[in-house]
Amino acid sequence: MIELGQHAVTPTGTLAAPPPPTRSTSLRSSAEWCDYFHANSQRLLPIPWEDGVPLTATEREIVAHSMQTFQLGESGEGRHIRRAADRYAARSGDVEYPAALRLFIGEEHRHAALLGRILDGAGIPRIRKQWSDGIFRKLRHQGGLELAICVLLTAELIAKIYYAALRAATRSSVIRRACEQILRDEAMHIQFQSERLALLRRSRRRWRRWTAVTLQRLFFYGTCTVFWMSHRRMLAAGGFPLRRVIRRARLEFRHVITIV
């Protein structure tokens, strides 16, 4: 079993369940997150590029569209959230948060570059526009830092299911190793975003926190439905039929709300 942050990928390519939920008592500071992102960049898994990306016709048909979509999704500039983070830092005095957020965005760009190189190696064209990516970008631009983080967090949780399925859906050593790396990063991205949400909501009354989590939950399950409809062939090929997607989504969300 390969350890991926707090989670794990089994030898059969399935994503192990998150650990039992426990109430988080200590949240990392922005400086600690900067240290984490710097250290993480020094311990990347080697990708066996020398193997190439030889996909069978069936594998290509199953994974091409979803990989194009996720490659685009990982490549966002994050201009809106970076501006929101700058305003939040000035307001709260947490002056290191924008740097931590930029390092996080850098990891997402590393994922986009990884997927882009895989698409190129497999002879699958990259795309520049996709309707669900457009909706996600527009939503992130509708509010402040909290909404932007909620939208991002939803994408991260879905990514954990997606990359576990993608890893199992092909025999390509490059894709499988890339998925392991991305899963490891995403587990910590979820922690990073959840901790910031917890800080943003910490001083609120209980009913306001409950309302925020309920809206977040509705958005998450709505997005999961669209995700399953758009990628169901690849998900099924990777061992994630609808029932398993729902079960895993529920577990992942439950883990997050113990933090926020």
- Please give the Cα distance from 145 to 212 (Å, whole number): 13
Q: Please return the burial class of 77, using the count of CB atoms within 10 Å of its CB with bins 0-12, 13-18 and 19+.
A: exposed
Tell me the residue nearest to Fe ion as measured from the CB: 189
Residue 74 CA: distances (Å) to CA of 91, 128, 202, 236: 29, 12, 29, 23
Residues 145-174 that bind Fe ion (CB under 5 A): 156
Nearer to Fe ion, 72 or 89 (CB): 72
Between 180 and 186, name the residue whose CB sits nearer to Fe ion: 186
Q: Pattern 37-76, binding to Fe ion, x per CB under 5 A?
A: -------------------------------------x--
Distance (Å, rounded) from C-alpha 148 to C-alpha 126?
A: 25
Any contact of residue 252 with Fe ion (CB under 5 A)?
no
Nearer to Fe ion, 70 or 240 (CB): 70
Q: Give the integer Cα–Cα distance in Å for 161 and 164.
A: 5
- The least distance separating Fe ion from the CB of residue 189, rounded to whole angstroms, comes to 4
Question: Within positions 190 to 209, which residues make up the interface with Fe ion, using CB under 5 A?
Answer: none
Q: Give the residue with the Cβ less far from Fe ion, 74 or 133.
A: 74
Q: Angle CA(70)–CA(224)–CA(27) in degrees, nearest 5?
A: 80
Contacts of Fe ion in 91-130 (CB under 5 A): 108, 111
Residue 189 makes contact with Fe ion by CB under 5 A: yes
Backbone angles phi, psi at 29, to 5 degrees: -80, 165
Smallest separation (angstroms) from Fe ion to the CB of 70: 8
Interaction of residue 140 with Fe ion, rule CB under 5 A: no
CA dihedral 168, 170, 173, 177 (to 10 degrees): -40
SS3 category, 8? strand
Q: Tell me, residue by residue from 226 to 245, as one string, x for binding to Fe ion by CB under 5 A and - for no binding.
A: --------------------
Binding segment for Fe ion (CB under 5 A), chosen from 26-34, 161-169, 179-187, 203-211, is 179-187
Tokens representing 94? 């947490």
Q: How far is the CB of 155 from Fe ion (least distance, A)?
A: 7
Tokens linked to 194: 């959840």
Strands 2-4 and 7-9: antiparallel
- Amino acid (one-letter) located at 165: A
Q: How many residues bind Fe ion (CB under 5 A)?
A: 6
The window from 20-28, 126-134, 180-188, 192-200 that contacts Fe ion (CB under 5 A) reads: 180-188
| Binding residues for Fe ion (CB under 5 A) | 74, 108, 111, 156, 186, 189
